[in-house]
Amino acid sequence: MTTQEYAYIAGSAHLDIIANVTDKADVVDKIGTMHYEFGGTAYNFAMNLQNSGVQTTFTGAFNQSPISQMILTEMMNNGIRTHVKTISSLPEAGFCAQLIQGDLFSAVSSMPVEQVQFSKQFFERGIKNAKCLILDCNLSVESLNTATQVANKHGVPVYIAGVSEAKCLRTLDIQHNIDVIFVNQREMNYLLKTLDDCQSWADISKKQNCTFVVTQGKDGVALCQPDGTVQNFSVQAIKVDVNTLGAGDMFTSTFIKAHAFEKAPLATAIEQGISAAAEVLKRQNASLGRAQAFQDNIESIASRAETDNLTKILNRDGLERFMKSRSLFDKPFFTILCDVDHFKQFNDTYGHDIGDNVLKQVSKVLQKCVRNKDAVGRWGGEEFVCIIDDKDIAVATRIAERIRKEVEKLNLKGVDHNITISAGVALSAQGHHWDAALKLSDQALYQAKSQGRNQVVVADV
């Protein structure tokens, strides 16, 4: 496989909300569990193929919401190239499914990508050098036609996923060559019901002059070819009570890799797809992509909101949350307020890059000198705060002195000035507002400065 060979994938990427019913499936208000993950047929295809070693390019449409940004970031972090449209007025994309014993009971989807028209020029830029084109029927008929036309022009094979009973009908309106259409049993029967002149699945393949691969759950896979032949493949039944929706996407992704990139015959590609789907069904959640990607992204955003950009330690909001999480407002603790002595000289003499490096190195010393149960944050400018989860003044004073001595040892390349800090230590008594302790530690810090700097002063308790 050359570096230019990639799968070009177009369709939907969105938030999946998966509800697994665990009790009393026959009632309206059901009891169960909820899972939130990034999903979408095209998204899963891109993730699966990228993780299997196939370079992928993803096309879709996004608004500018935090969820959209997280999805794009997740794809790019996994090495997926993106060729997308950003339209701020688009509604949020999402899929909400209710599963009973692993099978889909009901679902609601919002796929605004179907409202977006992608031009020939847009697809030309994406399909150039592609090994195959993969589409899902969340795209509009117009976009499906345009993409398929461009692929045919470049001799690129086309694979299309039906995604639902209603949306798979869009394949009937595509006026250009399709190599393989992937549908499940319900979707194929819906096509059969719609096409009055067809009496069997074989008739559909002949009429559309296209190969259909039909997944049937425990009943296996049917390969329906344009010449009217139908070949059936059995599967080993796997009983699961969790989300099985991703297994079909894994089957399709594996099939496409084998057929388009490894030149495997159709039958071999199906067998490889069946094997891959069986493996993914053994997972707790068959939705593909990185496990708990949505939760990790949420935590990352929260972390960035509470972290100082320069030093990567906590900011004021982060310190507040730390104290709340440790219930420090309900017990005594110590605050150490530190300030880099003569910091302006570093900026004036060596420039702001050196000044920034001084702050970074001091923050590292602070982190090294406190304990795991303590916290370090940047208060602003050259000021830092340490929260010492202890009621013993000797402990807090000892940590402050350790910090002072370790900072004094810093030796930055190209910097002739000694780096020192002054610090004020104050107790925050149980039930008292933290502002009182900050005020006392600030007064102690001022005293340390006025007494000659590079020293620790403890506020009177």
Residue 294 has pLDDT above 80, yes or no: no
The mean of the pLDDT values for the chain is: 88
Residue 303 is predicted with a pLDDT of 61
Backbone φ, ψ for residue 356 (5° rounding): -65, -40
pLDDT at residue 317, rounded to an integer: 83
**For strand 211-215 and strand 221-224, is the pairing parallel, antiparallel, or unpaired?**
antiparallel
* DSSP per position, 217-266: GGG-EEEE-TTS-EEEE-------SS--HHHHHHHHHHHHIIIIIS---H
Contact in structure between 168 and 195 (CB atoms under 8 Å): no
In a domain, 302, yes or no: no
* pLDDT tens per residue across span 54-92: 999 999 999 988 888 888 888 888 899 999 998 989 999
Residues 288 and 324 both lie in one domain: no
pTM to 2 decimal places? 0.68
Which range of residues forms the domain containing residue 143? Answer: 6-297
CB 12 within 8 A of CB 32: no
Is residue 237 located within the same domain as residue 292? yes
Same domain, 290 and 330: no
When pLDDT is cut at 50, 70 and 90, the band that residue 3 belongs to is very low
For residues 334 and 369, state if they share a domain.
yes
1 is a domain residue: no
Same domain, 78 and 39: yes
Q: Verify that 217 and 325 share a domain, yes or no.
A: no
**Any domain includes 67:** yes
Query: Is 148 among the domain residues?
Result: yes
**Tokens at residue 124, please?**
């030309």
Same domain, 228 and 345: no
| pLDDT reading at 233 higher than 70 | yes
What are 365-400's pLDDT values in tens digits? 999 999 988 999 999 899 999 999 899 999 999 999
pLDDT of residue 36 exceeding 90, the answer is no
Helix (H) or strand (E) holding 450: helix 434-450
Label residue 25 by pLDDT band (50, 70, 90).
confident
CA distance 48 to 2: 19
More confident site: 129 or 222: 222
Q: What is the pLDDT of residue 288?
A: 47
Q: Tell me, yes or no, whether 405 lies in a domain.
A: yes
- Among residues 297, 325, 352, which one ends one of the domains? 297
Residues 289 and 321 in one domain: no
Q: Number of structural domains, the chain?
A: 2
Query: Do 285 and 312 have their domain in common?
Result: no
CATH number at 73 reads 3.40.1190.20
- Overall average pLDDT of the 108-117 stretch: 91
Domain boundary pick from 254, 272, 297: 297
Averaged pLDDT, 146-169? 96
Mean pLDDT of all residues in 163-191: 95
Check pLDDT > 70 for residue 283. Answer: no
- 275 and 320 in a single domain? The answer is no
Task: With respect to residue 215, please indicate whether it lies within any of the assigned structural domains.
Answer: yes
| Tokens describing residue 318 | 């982060």
pLDDT of 211 higher than 60: yes
Structural domain ending residue among the three candidates 276, 297, 318? 297
Question: What pLDDT shows up at residue 287?
Answer: 46
Residue 434 has pLDDT above 80, yes or no: no
Residues 291 and 313 in one domain: no
Confidence at 428, pLDDT banded by 50, 70, 90: confident
Is the residue at 252 inside a domain?
Answer: yes
Angle at 54 between CA 53 and CA 59, to 5 degrees: 135
Same domain, 16 and 158: yes
What are φ and ψ of residue 310, in 5° steps? -80, -55
Q: Is 155 domain-assigned?
A: yes
